[in-house]
A = this chain, B = another copy of it.
Amino acid sequence: MKRDMFTCGLDAALAVIGGKWKPLIMFHLAHDTRRYGELKRAIGAVSHKMLIQQLKELEVDGLVHRVDHKEIPPRVDYSLTEFGQTLANALVPLCEWGTAHATEVSEMMTNREARTR
């Protein structure tokens, strides 16, 4: 069915987007450049500390480009680098999978809660 090439590029990929919020960040930057506040609102569930922290790591890793306009009030734009864009592309099938199976997944989550109690 498939070839045995996966031992294991996945390791490398996970080292980069393994962070809890990184895939989401990548996703939201995939099409547009966004200001910090926009990202925060777009993701919502993430805390300020986490978002800043993960953005910083993505920046250091060369996936995200950060532009500080040095204005008052502050204005900072985030966007994907070319490199980051290639990774975002690799994330697309996963995103589509999630969309296609959203209902099944929702049921799972409720089952999990029932089990934990």
Contacts and interface: CB of A to CB of B under 8 A. Distances in A.
Interface of A: 1-16, 18, 20, 23-24, 27, 30-31, 42-45, 57, 60-62, 83, 86-87, 89-102, 104-106, 108-109, 111-113, 115
Contacts of A27: 6, 8, 10
A30 to B, nearest CB: 7
Secondary structure of the A side of the interface?
helix
B5 A95 contact: yes
Given A12-B102, A60-B112, A101-B12, A93 B95 contact: no
Identical copies of this chain, number: 2
Contacts of A43: 7
